[in-house]
A and B are shown apart, each in its own frame.
Chain A
Amino acid sequence: MNDDLARMFARPSGTFRPSVLIRSRAAGGGSRSEPRPTEDGVSSRPHVAPDAADPQSRPAANSGELEETLHASLREGGDRPARLDTPGAVPEDRTAATSLPRTAHAMPPASNDYQLEAVGLAKSYRKASVEIPVLRDVHLAVRRGEFLAIVGQSGSGKSTLLHLLGTLDAPDAGSLFFEGQRIDNLPAADRDRLRNHCFGMIFQFYHLLPELTTLENVLTPLMIGKSVWGFLRRRRAYRRAAERLLALVGLSHRLKHRPRELSGGEMQRAAIARALITGPDVLLADEPTGNLDRATGQEILELLCSLNRQENLTIVMVTHDLAIAERADRMVRLVDGQIEDC
């Protein structure tokens, strides 16, 4: 599996950015004859359906095409005109953004290399009248394309930190920067859009919606992000993108199944496909292997590693398992609500 994935993600250049991709496509359109972007932004290249009956034979055959799939689906997510439309937001083209002078922040400015940066985050929970501090002064910087593992014991606040990074929760103090832009104080609607477009999340308990099929579960973020009309207009393209992603994670034979008909590993892979459908910049994984047996957990981990390596996808993973954390590029430890490098 690992080798298959490695091969299927094999790509010539190391850097992968949606905007870069669009540009290189536009410039060097002649270099590849087949894949022309349609108006939907999804490749119009005819999709060779992976052999659903024999998933093992699937990935190796068409690694180029799968790469194309990710491009397409990621580019779909990259197509976000009003992503950070707050006043003073960075221009949409992020390659340009990195070269622009940073707007002044109250907090010390983060380095341009950091895609996601937490500065002095603090969070405490209130139980009755007692305040229980969970995070205090957490400083964390994640580079673009980095695979970061956060380890810590149960109750150390790992999940809380991840929720803060994913803007699911607001910190009591400190600030959070994404692409150099402060995001923890954005209006709720902007944070919703950010979660939809820029962050992908996977959870220990998969959290697939039980009423929907695997395919529909994967399509959910697109349905959330688009208007009804916008979704229906492009539903064929979206459906193809979702099918390719599911093929990529090895679930093309489970499209019409409900989550309760899937195994744990399959559910987690479906959850990963769901997290990737909008082409996020950062994947936030909350104990993705915590509920799986060792072998399945390894498979999931391999999948994450290859996504990180091949697609240069930034991954922040929270785990209590050191063996798993060691697969990451970098590992930090959350102790007493503070980050310690390992």
Chain B
Amino acid sequence: MYKLLLCWRYLRTRYIALASIISVMLGVATMIVVNSVMSGFATEMQNRIHGILSDVVLEVRSLDGMADADWHMEQIRRVAGEAIQGMTPTVVVPAMLSFRHSDQWITRQVQLIGIDETTQSQVSDFGKYLQHPENRRAMSFQLREGGYDTRDHQGGPEAKERPQMKRAGWEHRRLMAEVQAFNRMMAQQASPGGAPDSAGPDGAASPPADERPATNLVDPFAAVQRPRQEPVFDPARQQHTGAVLGIVMASFRRPTGEDSFLILPGDDVKLTFPTAGTPPKIATDEFTVVDFYECKMAEYDSSFVFVPIRKLQELRGMIDPATGMGMFKSIQIKLKPGVDGDAVRDKLAEAFPRSLYEVQTWRDRQGALLAAVQMETAILNVLLFLIIAVSGFGILAIFFMIVVEKTRDIGVLKSLGASGSGIMGIFLSYGLSLGLVGSGVGLALGLVFVDHINDIAAVLGKITGKPVFDPSIYYFYRIPTIKDPWTIAWIVSGAIAIAVLASVLPALRAALLHPVEALRYE
């Protein structure tokens, strides 16, 4: 009882000891903030990656693909049917994307993915990331008249307006067709008879579907270049095969968080990719952008281009002329909720020869990235915990001073019959209560900080004039945070343990004091 009483009184009368636990407090608060932000990022990222990728992917090693997706899906169902919710075949091929922006051709390296638009949304969150509300409900590669989102529907209240998207769709396409027709007319008027010169470079660089005259102007080259093309392609009324572009390759984000679009749904792009067979040849075709794909993972948003799988199979020569059956590159598998992806992967890896197929879970595919984030979190935790450990030495020093100061009292207590362990108990419980106070205040501080982290970031950004959290770098508008109660419990108990451990040595010294010497201590 006297231990508790004295411990309480020491706590009340010695505020200098509270100073020694400020670093404990700060350490705890920082650790909570860092862990919340890191796990917020990691979880957000995992969710997105998981949403983008299907649970398990069966991939053919050859770029040429493998015939008969239906037979494969049947086999997969036979091996692990009870765990499978949905499947879809895809063709994945590296490609070049070219589009025209202010009289310049911009070319990007992309991952061209042929998908079955009806089943793709069943195996991943593909549909959720599109910009047209109708497409989110039911994906279609047909260009919509209009009605694309003018604000990022995933961005929350911070999302900035995207005014350019207002005219996306057929409206934009018609406008662009008119502009091009007008430009062509102007060019022809400027150099009558010199049409080959003026159209030459343009025409040579791109046999343009979109630059063909939409009006009834006479173009001698139209007949020469496409003698058999009847009827004439009218860009104001017709579209090429639809393509969904990752939003990052079509736009750039200003530091203010606003997006500027280089092209819009309704514009045409060219895709260049290798055909199947050895050696691969180059195939190029035109596509019309029908929507943007925005999964908030810059890596994917800047490289994914989705086109209908059938069209891609045709263009790459992946269709067996005899049967009309297309080849596939991979099969995306969606598992039922709660099913262990690793088990399914192992089962499938058993069933399909490894030399021809590769089976991976979404974690395997993004393992390096996830591991990197985990590593970062672990290192930060070690460093921050060292801060708390260092503060343990501060507690140790102050406790030693308190023990020296209290030497006579310790002697008195011993003369009154207090045991060594009892004296030790005073200082251990003193350390414990300091740890409790320190980590308690740190806990409150950390939680408040995490709750208001975006406001704090905004204020800091204003003060320093540099945004702390640059939305043009991170594709989140807010700093994502997750407060994991277990992590917090570990941090707090670790800090308390350090405070107690730091008080062990002084407490031991107090316990071992000789009562007579302690009583004589001046």
B: which residues have CB within 8 A of A?
1-2, 4-6, 9-10, 13, 408-409, 411-420, 422, 514-516, 519
Residues of chain B within 8 A of A227, CB atoms compared: 1
Q: Is the CB of A220 within 8 A of B9?
A: no
Interface string of A177-215 (1 = CB under 8 A from B): 000000000001100111111000101000111111000
Instruction: Please indicate which of the listed interface residues B416, B422, B515 has the most CB atoms of chain A within 10 Å of its own CB.
Output: B416
Interface size on A, residues (CB 8 A): 33
Is A53 an interface position by the 8 A CB rule? no
Contact A197 B417, beta carbon cutoff 8 Å: yes
Asked if A166 is at the interface (CB within 8 A of a chain B CB), the reply is: yes
Given A168-B516, A211-B13, A223-B1, residue A195 in contact with residue B6 (CB < 8 A): no
Complex-state Cα separation, A131 to B515, whole angstroms = 21
Min CB gap B255→A, angstroms: 59
Q: Which residues of A contact B2 (CB under 8 A)?
A: 220, 223-224
A216-B12 Cα distance, complex, nearest whole Å: 16
> Assuming A211-B9, A216-B5, A220-B2, is B516 touching A193 (CB within 8 A)?
no
Chain A nearest CB, measured from B3 CB (Å): 8
- State the CA gap A301–B515 with chains docked (Å): 26
- Which chain A residue has the least Cβ–Cβ distance from B12? A211
- State which of B9, B408, B418, B516 has its C-beta within 8 Å of the C-beta of A224: B418
Contact of B413 among A163, A197, A216, A220 (CB under 8 A): A220
Q: What separation, in Å, do the CA atoms of A196 and B415 have in the docked complex? A: 8
Q: Which of A120-158 contact B (CB under 8 A)?
A: none
CB<8 Å pairs between A and B, sample of 12: A163-B515, A168-B516, A192-B417, A195-B416, A197-B417, A201-B415, A207-B408, A209-B6, A212-B9, A216-B5, A220-B2, A231-B1
Looking at A189, A193, A207, the one whose CB has the most chain B CB atoms below 10 A away is A207
A221 within 8 A of B: yes
- Indicate whether A226 reaches chain B with its CB closer than 8 angstroms: yes
A227 to B2, CA, bound (A): 10
> How many Å lie between the Cα of A216 and that of B420 in the bound state?
21
Q: How far is the CB of A62 from chain B (nearest CB, A)?
A: 29
Give Cα A194–Cα B413 distance, bound, in whole angstroms.
14
How far, in whole Å, are A195 and B515 apart by their CA atoms in the complex? 12
Q: Which residue of B lies closest to A228 (CB)?
A: B1
Which residues from A are CB-within-8-Å of B414?
A: 168, 192, 195
In the complex, A274→B415 CA distance in Å? 12
A223 to B4, CA, bound (A): 10
Q: How far is it, in angstroms, between the C-alpha of A169 and the C-alpha of B411 when the chains are bound?
A: 12
Q: Is the CB of B417 within 8 A of A212?
A: no
Residue pair B416, A212 in contact (C-beta under 8 Å): no
Q: Which of A189, A201, A211 contacts B6 (CB 8 A)?
A: A211
Contact residues in A for B417 (Cβ distance below 8 Å): 192-197, 221, 224-225
Q: How far is the CA of A224 from the CA of B421 in the complex (A)?
A: 11
Kindly state the separation between the CA atoms of A255 and B181 in the bound complex, as whole angstroms.
103
Does the CB pair B409–A209 fall under 8 Å?
Answer: yes
The distance in angstroms between the C-alpha atoms of A224 and B420, with both chains bound, is: 12
Q: Does A262 contact B (CB under 8 A)?
A: no
In the complex, what distance in Å separates the CA atom of A208 from the CA atom of B409?
8
Let me know if A192 and B419 touch, CB within 8 A.
Answer: yes
* Contact indicator B420/A166 (Cβ below 8 Å): no
B458: shortest Cβ distance to chain A, in Å?
Answer: 47
| Extra inter-chain contacts (19) besides given A195-B417, A201-B415, A226-B1, CB under 8 Å | A160-B516, A166-B415, A168-B519, A169-B515, A188-B420, A189-B419, A193-B417, A196-B418, A201-B416, A207-B412, A207-B415, A208-B412, A209-B6, A211-B10, A224-B2, A224-B416, A228-B4, A232-B1, A274-B416
